[in-house]
Amino acid sequence: MIVLFLAFSIGCSLKHSDNKLNKANEKFIAFLDKFDTLRLPFTVFGLDLVDYTEKSWIGKVDTTLLIANPLLKPINESEYNFIKSKSPSYQSFRFYGVYKKKTDDYFLAVTMQKDLHKDEYWLRLNLFNNKGELLDTLTFAGQKVGLFNLYGKINFNLHITTYSYHDIKEDSTNFNNYYATEIRSEYNIAKAGKFKQIGLKNERGYFTNYGERNIVSRVDTIDGRYRSK
């Protein structure tokens, strides 16, 4: 009888644990459902940043309206639990779901983080395991408006590169160009579910912002490569 009772108790306990896990997974899947599907390659350069602000412009024949950005899906305070271990306070920031992608072992989710007290916002990459546990985050793109820009791209193989520009100095002889220190960081996703930095380059260069989307380009090299390529 004692053995049967213990077996019954253990069985009930395991069933209760399974139910709790299933409910947690259901909440996590519901959380990710609001994110759009991430399509690769994914790049955010120049005026691409505007696509991820809280408000977007909708042009019409006779007027232009500023509306809530339909790409950004608000993350409420209860859903914030999924990202709070690596995010700042919910009272000082607002968070939005943007994109999701399932890898072999993880979920990659792109969120937008908006500072309520400063004019800045950041796109962040988040790695979750299949249980919905947040494993790691990486700031991918965004800006402190008028002060600092960060751009990024993700290739088909989930190779991640970010570009930031510092100590910007305009060229007094050509106001379309400027000198800046470019910091280029490269990452991949390690088996432990972490963003692993595999490259870092710090270089002073001569740049311009090319075309309608203001894509950063080197103008002091032979190839003049665009940073979105």
* Confidence category of residue 16, pLDDT binned at 50, 70, 90: very low
Q: Which residue has the higher pLDDT, 164 or 214?
A: 164
pLDDT at site 214: 84
The DSSP secondary structure of 33-71, one letter per residue, reads HTSEEP-SSEEE-GGGGGGGSSEEEEE-SS-EEEEE-TT
At which residue do the structure tokens 């600092």 appear? 148
Do residues 95 and 83 lie in contact, with contact meaning Cβ atoms separated by under 8 Å? yes
Q: For residue range 100-158, what is the model confidence (pLDDT) as tens digits?
A: 999 888 999 999 999 999 889 999 999 999 889 999 999 999 998 777 889 999 999 99
Q: Which of 22-26, 137-141, 162-166 has the lowest mean pLDDT?
A: 22-26
In the chain, % of residues over pLDDT 70 = 82
Q: Which residue has the higher pLDDT, 45 or 59?
A: 45
Nearest residue to 228 (alpha-carbon basis) of 47, 71, 101: 47
